[in-house]
Chains A and B, each alone.
Chain A
Amino acid sequence: MMVELGTSMSMHDRVLAVIQGRKPDRIPFCDRLELWHTALIRQNRLPADFDGLSLNESHRKAGIGQLKFVRPHDFRLNGVELTISVDNEEVSRETAPECQGWPLMQELVQTDRPGSTVFEFVTPVGKISLRQVVLPEAVAWSETCYTAENPIKEPEDFDTVRWIIEHMDVIPRFDRIRAGEAEVGDFGFVVPKLERIPFQEVLIDLVGELNTFYVLNDNPSYIHKLLAAIDELRVKTAAVLSNLDSPYVEFVDNVTGHMTNPKLFAEYAIPEYQRYCELYHAQGKRVGSHFDGELRPLLGQLRDTGLDVIESISPAPLTECTFDELWQSVGGGPPLMWGVIPSPLLEESTPEAELHEFVDHVLETVNGAPIILGVSDMVLGNNLIERVEWCARRIKEHVI
């Protein structure tokens, strides 16, 4: 039986140490239980020994540090009249609204009930709308809403969206970061959540993947002008966040090589990452991005981004890229890997031995090099908390 050596660092300090290039006393194990927690409460299946525990208490009990994403600012949409309708009934109308989640507005969508929410943005140059949908199954599993309609549907929508972006103000909300830190305490890590880099915002949120590909071919100036507008907003945001006392910030890019293929990654994503990393590095902050998709096509390019961390790394069986391929490519960083343990290994349908073999192999391969382990993309409602607990024990007893 392994003797547990003295562990002097908190989970927060372990994560921070790895991000800052210092050696922790143990490999940090830090990720999100929020989906699991909410799903099991809604399905009335929360294990008895978690009943009544807050989310942070649940993290402490399971042994997995609490990763908490918090938006450190709002956007004020100057000159915009925003109307929100739920299931075809208007529920609010506001001029120059302040919102966290432009353009997807997800924080304004009720995800505890099924429904369709339409956001209509009226400006002096035109109007756009987007629709978010929550299915009954998504409520039960505590999943996020789905963008059923992107804001840009017609050529003229490009001008309207650009107008909105060009007239936005960035409003600091650093109090949210401090509140989040108070919530997670020493057993977690609050990550100031940035938006996506411009290309990813166009690809996923504003236009949609397939239409972006068509427009890039047919009339690339539409995309390029929009990227330029978003870039200015990112630079403006970085200036505001220069006053934020935080060692790390992260773009929520949901990168997958299937959509942001190597050609597009080289042409758009890499220059954008390099630009913003330079801005945030000058502030003393490390920079990460959420890379939860298929990375095999992009392995040779990851180091070129300038990123310090790629978070929510999702190897096989979630994607085709194996952990070994990832490790051979960027093992030890930069960029550092955060994530790695695929959530399907925590499902009852997967033999537990596969999870044990995977984690043991990772620990052996890593061999003391810097990494932050977690569950990718996060712990889901169909994952067994006992397996999370096993991972926590195994990682804690592993001496580095």
Chain B
Amino acid sequence: MHEQDNADPDSAAETSSSLDHGSRPWILGEGPGPPCGHGREERTREDNLMDLQQLIEAVIAGNAPETKALTEAALSDGVAPQTIVDDGLIAAMGVVGEHFSRGEIYVPEMLLSARAMQSALAIIEPLLAKADIVSRGTVVIGTVKGDVHDIGKNIVSIMLKGSAFTVHDLGVDVPAERFVEAIREHKPDVLGLSSLLTTTMPAMRTVIEALETAGVRDQVKVMVGGAPVTEAFALSIGADGYGRDAVEAAEQARQLILAAG
């Protein structure tokens, strides 16, 4: 029996909606362990220097135990935590995203890579916090009021974390007021709204209007997504961005934050 993986420090979704789903991402284990013969006892300096490339490969392969081991090895070799994040983990997820966009891999492989990355981030984040290094940006995400679909939102959330964003997931059936509260509380760079029903898409407009009424609209970039959501709809409601899929959403978020300076 495998132990549950608690590597993701942000695994608990905020249950700020009227529903308490009580469920959480449940993972039997972390996948296969390191390949045979990959002993740690006789590692040379050369071995350690190669770790970043091997780390990238381990993330792409979705091998969480190997990713953790290589992260620890790189740290003990004196590689700076931010370097491991930027040149190792984020670089790897970039490759994963490209493969997904080209249809060479699918959602399962992407999730396994993101899980591997997050297992490494769990080791690195305390070190980053000590060094006072900030994340790439902060995102608040949620499914709008009246809608309980969350798979797409969850995948986007995982990909954003995999791209070293700080993500606050408000869950599903989130009223507009809660989004406003979350903006005041977390001061995110990006607000992500998800809807999977044509009957709940209008709630996205309601949220944007609530942001305007609350005087916080100009503090955040708003992105929308979900199966029935189109770019035209996003423009019509005054959203700043639209993500066709999880990889595009993560990239859009990055672009919006860069553009905002």
Task: Point out residues on A near B: beta carbons under 8 Å.
Answer: 116, 131, 133, 135-138, 141, 143, 146, 148-150, 153-155, 209-211, 213-219, 222, 258-259, 261-264, 294, 297, 317-320, 343-344, 347, 380-382
A259 to B110, CA, bound (A): 12
Instruction: Please list the 10 inter-chain residue pairs (A to B) with the smallest Cβ-Cβ separation, ordered nearest first.
Output: A137-B146, A261-B106, A213-B108, A218-B29, A146-B148, A218-B28, A148-B21, A149-B23, A214-B27, A141-B199
Cross-chain contact A218 with B31 (CB below 8 angstroms): yes
If A137-B146, A138-B146, A155-B28 touch, whether A263 touches B197 (CB-CB below 8 Å) is no
A35 to B257, CA, bound (A): 41
A308 to B41, CA, bound (A): 60
Interface centre among A150, A209, A319 (most CB of B within 10 A): A209
Cross-chain contact A262 with B106 (CB below 8 angstroms): yes
Nearest-neighbour CB distance to chain B for A264, whole angstroms, equals 8
Known pairs A211-B27, A222-B28, A318-B227; list 14 more (Cβ under 8 Å). A133-B19, A135-B148, A135-B173, A137-B147, A138-B146, A149-B22, A214-B28, A218-B31, A259-B151, A261-B107, A263-B106, A319-B227, A380-B199, A382-B199
Partner among B62, B198, B244 whose Cβ is within 8 Å of the Cβ of A347: B198
Cross-chain contact B28 with A219 (CB below 8 angstroms): yes
Cross-chain contact A216 with B108 (CB below 8 angstroms): yes
Partner among B28, B108, B154, B198 whose Cβ is within 8 Å of the Cβ of A382: B198
Partner among B23, B103, B111, B230 whose Cβ is within 8 Å of the Cβ of A214: B111
If A219-B29, A343-B198 touch, whether A213 touches B145 (CB-CB below 8 Å) is no
Partner among B151, B199, B228 whose Cβ is within 8 Å of the Cβ of A318: B228
A125 to B169, CA, bound (A): 36
Taking CB atoms and an 8 Å cut-off, the chain B residues in 220-253 that contact chain A are 227-228, 230, 244
A228 to B126, CA, bound (A): 45
The answer to whether the Cβ of B16 comes within 8 Å of any Cβ in the partner chain is no
The residues of B that contact A381 with a CB separation of less than 8 Å are 199
Partner among B28, B149, B155 whose Cβ is within 8 Å of the Cβ of A210: B155
The residues of A that contact B199 with a CB separation of less than 8 Å are 137, 141, 143, 380-382
Cross-chain contact A154 with B148 (CB below 8 angstroms): no
Taking CB atoms and an 8 Å cut-off, the chain B residues in 49-95 that contact chain A are 62
The residues of B that contact A146 with a CB separation of less than 8 Å are 148-149
If A138-B146, A258-B107, A380-B198 touch, whether A218 touches B23 (CB-CB below 8 Å) is no
Cross-chain contact B23 with A153 (CB below 8 angstroms): yes
Nearest-neighbour CB distance to chain A for B175, whole angstroms, equals 11
A297 to B108, CA, bound (A): 15
The answer to whether the Cβ of B115 comes within 8 Å of any Cβ in the partner chain is yes
The residues of B that contact A263 with a CB separation of less than 8 Å are 106
Cross-chain contact A214 with B146 (CB below 8 angstroms): no
The residues of B that contact A154 with a CB separation of less than 8 Å are 26
Nearest-neighbour CB distance to chain A for B129, whole angstroms, equals 28
Cross-chain contact B112 with A213 (CB below 8 angstroms): yes
Nearest-neighbour CB distance to chain A for B1, whole angstroms, equals 6
The residues of A that contact B115 with a CB separation of less than 8 Å are 214
Q: Can you name the residue of chain B whose Cβ is closest to the Cβ of A153? A: B26
Q: Chain B interface: which size bin? A: 35 or more
A341 to B29, CA, bound (A): 44
A24 to B35, CA, bound (A): 61
The answer to whether the Cβ of B189 comes within 8 Å of any Cβ in the partner chain is no
Partner among A219, A259, A344 whose Cβ is within 8 Å of the Cβ of B107: A259
Nearest-neighbour CB distance to chain A for B136, whole angstroms, equals 23
The answer to whether the Cβ of B2 comes within 8 Å of any Cβ in the partner chain is yes
24 A-B pairs (CB sep. < 8 Å): A136-B146, A146-B148, A148-B23, A149-B22, A153-B26, A154-B26, A155-B2, A209-B151, A210-B151, A211-B25, A213-B108, A214-B26, A214-B111, A214-B112, A217-B31, A217-B62, A217-B108, A218-B28, A219-B28, A259-B107, A264-B108, A294-B227, A317-B228, A347-B198
The answer to whether the Cβ of B200 comes within 8 Å of any Cβ in the partner chain is yes
The residues of A that contact B30 with a CB separation of less than 8 Å are 218
Interface centre among A148, A150, A381, A382 (most CB of B within 10 A): A148
The residues of A that contact B149 with a CB separation of less than 8 Å are 146
A258 to B151, CA, bound (A): 11
Taking CB atoms and an 8 Å cut-off, the chain B residues in 7-31 that contact chain A are 19, 21-23, 25-31
If A135-B173, A218-B31, A380-B199 touch, whether A317 touches B230 (CB-CB below 8 Å) is yes
Cross-chain contact A137 with B108 (CB below 8 angstroms): no
A263 to B115, CA, bound (A): 20
The residues of A that contact B228 with a CB separation of less than 8 Å are 317-318, 344
Partner among B21, B103, B111, B244 whose Cβ is within 8 Å of the Cβ of A213: B111
A137 to B28, CA, bound (A): 35
Interface centre among A213, A216, A294 (most CB of B within 10 A): A213
